[in-house]
Structure 1
């Protein structure tokens, strides 16, 4: 793993942590803004600057890009709850092409993967008996 990737993962992790902390602390605007900036920098370092630019400017991703940036703007102008809701919508639209890869990765994490897979395994087991 290159050092750029390690720094990108670290920045993304800090961004997620600060965003989570900002939500827990009653939508603290400063922590949410810091978390968003760290997440954006982490994604940019992981994907590369040109790939990140193409991701945000791709014609199919305009709805996600505009929603994400509008949510970030709303956080900066002191509307954090509306900003987070719009940002979540933007992230889901923007990164929807990565969900299958993310799902496979999360299912392979030792404890978390088993916990998330258990309801599906139980449902599969119940449908085979019936």
Structure 2
């Protein structure tokens, strides 16, 4: 297992701020500046975490070309101040890019019931009538 470097810890922070700006931009009725900053920070953080070569390999695989085109095209539309259309295109590309990851994430969330600390919350909430 590889150790996480300080550079990657900073990149996680940058990515977190990117997600915050994306959420805040959506909450403020698709503010194009906040969405553009969020997109740029998210992609920068992702690139710093996994590296330039791995990021390029992930986005430019032959079977993921259409998904990458929609995702990066949506980012470009948001940067060009078309936030609503850009976020819709970007969301479609995101779903296409990570469609193989969704079952894994769902399995992880559903396995949270077996964690002892969380199990007490789930069992107590079902007994309230």
Q: TM over 0.5, yes or no?
A: yes
Q: Which residue in 1 is equivalent to 2:84?
A: 81
> Any stretches of 5+ residues in structure 2 without a counterpart?
113-117
| 2:71 paired residue among 68, 71, 96 | 68
Q: How far 1:107 moved relative to its partner? A: 6.0
Of 24, 27, 31 in structure 2, the residue corresponding to residue 28 of structure 1 is 31
Q: Give 1:96 deviation, angstroms.
A: 2.8
2: distance between equivalents of 1:31 and 1:60?
A: 31
Q: CA deviation at 1:59?
A: 0.5
**Distance in 2 between residues matched to 1:101 and 1:19, nearest whole Å:** 24
- The secondary structure found in structure 2 opposite 1:17 is helix
Mind listing any 5+ residue stretches in structure 1 that lack a counterpart?
109-113, 123-130
1:1-130 alignment runs, 5 A limit: 1-103=4-106, 104=108
Q: Which has the higher helix share?
A: 1
How does the TM-score come out when normalised to structure 2? 0.75
Shift of 1:99: 3.2
CA distance in 2, matches of 1:16, 1:80: 16
Question: How many corresponding residue pairs?
Answer: 112
**Structure 1 position 100, deviation (Å):** 4.5
**SS at structure 2 position matched to 1:31:** helix
* Residues in 2 aligned to 1:105 and 1:63: alpha-carbon distance in whole angstroms: 29
